Amino acid sequence: MSEMLRQLSARNQALAVVSPDYPATTAMVEDLKTRGIPLFCLLSDFAMDVRQGYIGLNNMKVGRTAAWMIARGAKHPGKVAIFVGSHVEYDATLANGSTVKAMVPFVRGMKIHEAGEAVSLTFDAGSAAFLPL
């Protein structure tokens, strides 16, 4: 990603990019900023301290919407497992968790799992999510 940003910055005055949040990418965005080339994040917010702007969803609202859906769909007491792909989704998770607890008082327990992009980790976390708290 860093190399692609370097190449794109050689022939563009500004960049809008979808990218995962990696330290090397953030370092490249810092370099772009010092050279006066603004970078806008699309859909996934990365390089938060140095990027020019973010164009995408409000993760807090997304979390509240997911919590509302859980509250409307949960008919019986039980557990809730929330899976996040990365720390970028953390705001949505926080909003979701606090709102679920407020909206669904009969939820007995809630676990948040950071599964990343690995399917096997998601499956393992999902299997463990429904073990006793």
Summarised one tens digit per residue, pLDDT across range 47-96 is 888 899 999 888 777 777 877 787 788 777 777 776 666 555 555 555 55
Residue 8 and residue 48 in one domain:
yes
In this predicted structure, what is the pLDDT of residue 49? 85
Residue 66 and residue 103 in one domain:
yes
Residue 70 and residue 30 in one domain:
no
In this predicted structure, what is the pLDDT of residue 27? 93
Residue 27 and residue 50 in one domain:
yes
Could you give the CA distance from residue 117 to residue 87 in angstroms, rounded to a whole number?
12
In this predicted structure, what is the pLDDT of residue 79? 74
Residues 6+ apart with CB under 8 A from 89: 59
Residue 14 in this model has a pLDDT that exceeds 90: yes
Q: H or E segment at 78?
A: strand 78-84
Work out whether strand 15-17 and strand 39-42 pair parallel, antiparallel, or are unpaired.
parallel
**Domain containing residue 123: CATH number:** 3.40.50.2300
Most confident of 24-33, 45-54, 72-81, 116-125: 24-33
Residue 68 and residue 11 in one domain:
no
In this predicted structure, what is the pLDDT of residue 90? 53
Q: What is the pTM of this model?
A: 0.57
Residue 26 in this model has a pLDDT that exceeds 70: yes
Could you give the CA distance from residue 42 to residue 45 in angstroms, rounded to a whole number?
7
Which domain, by its residues, includes 32?
A: 2-55
% residues pLDDT > 70 (the chain): 59
